[in-house]
A and B are shown apart, each in its own frame.
Chain A
Amino acid sequence: MSVEFCGLTLAHPVINGSGTFDAIAARRAFGEQLRERFPFAAYVSKTITLEPRAGNPPPRLWEAPAGLINSIGLPNKGLYDYVREDLPALGEIGIGARPGAGGTDPSVPLITNVMGASAEELAQLLEVCNERTEIAALELNVSCPNVKTGLDIGADPRQLEAVVSAVRGRTDKPLIVKLTPNTADVPDCALAAEHGGADAVSLINTLRATALAPRRSPGGSERWLGGGSGGLSGPAIRPVALAQVAAVAARVKIPVIGMGGVQSAAHARDLLDVGATLVAVGTESFRDPTVAARIARELARGVPAGEPIGAAREDSGA
């Protein structure tokens, strides 16, 4: 059940959410099996920034009811080491187009997710990535505070449209805007991204959340997470994702990548039924790194609407 997405032909409609699968680390754990049975139809990188980032101090995780709060802080080696070290390492796993391979290239398309604190930073990220034939498409993480206003670029439709249109011309690759759910009107933001020149939007990112330290001072309100607050993901957010994906898909003409708490083919089917072109699996891959492959297989077999087929067949293994 191959899918056309922004000029790319994908083997199936299931990809990973940015920051939820590190193919290079997974290769250390699982070896060549990762390449042979790569679960995603396209691989989305962790967020890459211009400069390296160490990420937030621990603790970085808190288990919530049917979900997980993370405060990871976008650790990454920076744009230049990503290009120099990670692109070749991903190539060894069969991720990223091989230069000159042409139409029969069997590699998994690489979508590089980037974040910049200003239009200038984003422009530089896009220009460098645009030169790399390994990269099939770019995704903008706009859940980033504006250096001047302190507000998330992606939370304000006017600011978002301005940033997307300012950087749009820096790449001729498909440009996906990853929307934040932490704003008053997500469809307005999706429309702003479309007007700014985005080729697709992806949602939902994590919902802002926090947890208090279990052993805090009496009456105190110390936070558990080293970063203070984080983002909630997992099954807990699935109904929110379904509502936001449906609302956005009804509003924009560009393709939508839907994600949020997907655990089974039935959940993926729900997002496709409300208008998503692709579905991303995130936190569920933490519980089983091959779950996306099972979801893709079950989608291909056809899932009757409303049937919890993933849960029912969980014990059939990967």
Chain B
Amino acid sequence: MSHAPFGRRQLTVTGIDELGVYRVLRAADPHGPPVEPGQFAMLAAVERWGGGEGDRPYVPRAFSIARQQGEESHFLLEDVGPGTQRLCELGPGDRLWALGPLGRGFTAPTEGRRALLVGGGVGIAPLAILQDTLACDVTVLLGFRDAARAEGAALLGGAQVATDDGSSGHHGLVTELLAAELQRDPRAVVYACGPAPMLEGVRAMCEHSAIPAQLALEAGMACGFGACYGCVVPKRGGGYLRVCVDGPVIDAAELEHVDVHAGAPA
């Protein structure tokens, strides 16, 4: 694993693309080291970071690196709070503070197992760079609330889609698609990222079927490099893991259940 440059650096936004309700923020990052799929960066706008709703944001926000293309890094955004709102406003030429890549990423599937990528909502981001990287046969299952969000599936190739309201793809949960896939061929490694209830569904299903699973977790964090101890999740057998340095990708076997508190700085 290559280390992140010590200290935040400035990136220049090269573009921001609409993808349904999401935005793909693209930024030139000529000094960034190679990214391991699943790693993240702490982002903040250089100008006007603060003074939004509730006089926020203050700390930077953690985002999975969704893709690396040449010297460009891509991030998937959804406007859900003052931090993400400010980042969604950025346009070409605007400047961005970035610290990263940070954390532990996904590890490649072992011989004889296919990769099953399971994503939900804005959590599909790290699965895109994982799909770019994996040379083997990949199955992609993505769940969204509705059709406007399901447009995000275009970030990955060849995805089967489920929506909560049935407005696009399978009417139901992405874990139902996962159950069918595991029944069809259980020789798989599951890579999952999404909201906590989805991850808990994936974790429980994989534990029940003895399928290895790597879960990319989200938690509110202030620093991203192990300093603040704010982003913890309960560990199997007691104690806590720091999502930023012990994760964000955590082997499902290390968790009794996924108990990530949503409502982190957004």
A residues near B (Cβ < 8 Å) are: 19-22, 24-26, 28-34, 37, 54-55, 57-61, 63-68, 70, 72, 75, 214-215, 224, 234-235, 283, 285-290, 314-315, 317-318
Query: Does the CB pair A290–B7 fall under 8 Å?
Result: yes
Chain B hits for A287, CB < 8 A: 8, 44, 59-60, 97, 223
Chain A hits for B265, CB < 8 A: 61, 63
Q: Does B10 contact A (CB under 8 A)?
A: yes
Query: Does the CB pair A288–B58 fall under 8 Å?
Result: no
Annotate B232-257 by CB proximity to A: 1 below 8 A, 0 otherwise. 11100011101001000000000000
Within 8 Å by CB of A63, from B59, B102, B242, B261, lies: B59
Q: With contacts A22-B227, A25-B226, A58-B232 known, is A286 near B263, CB below 8 A?
A: no
Chain A hits for B59, CB < 8 A: 63, 68, 286-287
Query: Does the CB pair A61–B222 fall under 8 Å?
Result: yes
Q: With contacts A63-B56, A287-B8 known, is A25 near B263, CB below 8 A?
A: no
Number of A-B contacts (CB under 8 A): 139
Within 8 Å by CB of B227, from A31, A32, A235, A285, lies: A285
Q: 25 A–B contact pairs at CB < 8 A?
A: A22-B229, A25-B245, A26-B227, A28-B226, A28-B245, A29-B4, A29-B102, A29-B224, A54-B238, A55-B229, A55-B240, A61-B222, A63-B265, A66-B58, A68-B59, A72-B230, A75-B240, A283-B222, A286-B223, A287-B97, A288-B99, A289-B225, A315-B95, A317-B9, A318-B8
User: Looking at chain A's contact residues, is the secondary structure mostly helix, strand, loop, or mixed?
Assistant: loop
Query: Does the CB pair A72–B3 fall under 8 Å?
Result: no
Chain A hits for B21, CB < 8 A: none
Most chain B CB inside 10 Å of its own CB: which residue of A19, A33, A63, A283: A63
For A65, the closest partner residue in chain B by CB is: B55
For B60, the closest partner residue in chain A by CB is: A287
B198 to chain A, nearest CB (A): 19
A20-B230 Cα distance, complex, nearest whole Å: 11
Chain A hits for B93, CB < 8 A: none
A221-B109 Cα distance, complex, nearest whole Å: 47
For B266, the closest partner residue in chain A by CB is: A63
Q: Does B92 contact A (CB under 8 A)?
A: no
For B50, the closest partner residue in chain A by CB is: A66
Query: Does the CB pair A290–B6 fall under 8 Å?
Result: yes
Q: Does B28 contact A (CB under 8 A)?
A: no
Chain A hits for B8, CB < 8 A: 287-290, 318
A54-B240 Cα distance, complex, nearest whole Å: 7
A37-B3 Cα distance, complex, nearest whole Å: 14
Which B residues, 199 to 233, have Cβ-Cβ distances below 8 Å to chain A? Answer: 219-233
Interface size of B by CB at 8 A reads 49
Chain A hits for B3, CB < 8 A: 29-33
- 5 A-B pairs besides A58-B233, A286-B228, A290-B6 with CB distance below 8 A are A54-B239, A55-B240, A234-B58, A289-B223, A315-B95
Query: Does the CB pair A60–B230 fall under 8 Å?
Result: yes
A290-B222 Cα distance, complex, nearest whole Å: 15
Q: Does B54 contact A (CB under 8 A)?
A: yes
Q: With contacts A29-B102, A58-B261, A214-B263 known, is A317 near B227, CB below 8 A?
A: no
A192 to chain B, nearest CB (A): 30
Query: Does the CB pair A61–B221 fall under 8 Å?
Result: yes
A74 to chain B, nearest CB (A): 9
Within 8 Å by CB of B58, from A28, A37, A68, lies: A68
A67-B245 Cα distance, complex, nearest whole Å: 23
Query: Does the CB pair A26–B225 fall under 8 Å?
Result: yes
Chain A hits for B10, CB < 8 A: 315, 317
Chain A hits for B95, CB < 8 A: 315
Q: Does B157 contact A (CB under 8 A)?
A: no
Q: With contacts A63-B56, A63-B59, A317-B10 known, is A68 near B263, CB below 8 A?
A: no
For A213, the closest partner residue in chain B by CB is: B263
Q: Does B46 contact A (CB under 8 A)?
A: yes
A22-B225 Cα distance, complex, nearest whole Å: 8
Query: Does the CB pair B55–A66 fall under 8 Å?
Result: yes
For B228, the closest partner residue in chain A by CB is: A286
Q: Does B34 contact A (CB under 8 A)?
A: no
Which B residues, 1 to 27, have Cβ-Cβ distances below 8 Å to chain A? Answer: 3-10
Query: Does the CB pair B229–A286 fall under 8 Å?
Result: no
Query: Does the CB pair B7–A288 fall under 8 Å?
Result: yes
Within 8 Å by CB of B7, from A19, A70, A289, lies: A289
Chain B hits for A317, CB < 8 A: 7, 9-10
Complex A-B, nearest 8 residue pairs according to Cβ-Cβ distance, in ascending order: A25-B226, A65-B55, A31-B3, A290-B7, A318-B7, A286-B223, A61-B230, A33-B6
Q: Does B57 contact A (CB under 8 A)?
A: yes
A65-B190 Cα distance, complex, nearest whole Å: 40
Chain A hits for B231, CB < 8 A: 58, 60-61
Query: Does the CB pair B263–A29 fall under 8 Å?
Result: no
Chain A hits for B9, CB < 8 A: 317-318
Chain B hits for A64, CB < 8 A: 58
Annotate B30-60 by CB proximity to A: 1 below 8 A, 0 otherwise. 0000000000000010100010001111111
Within 8 Å by CB of B222, from A68, A214, A224, A315, lies: A68
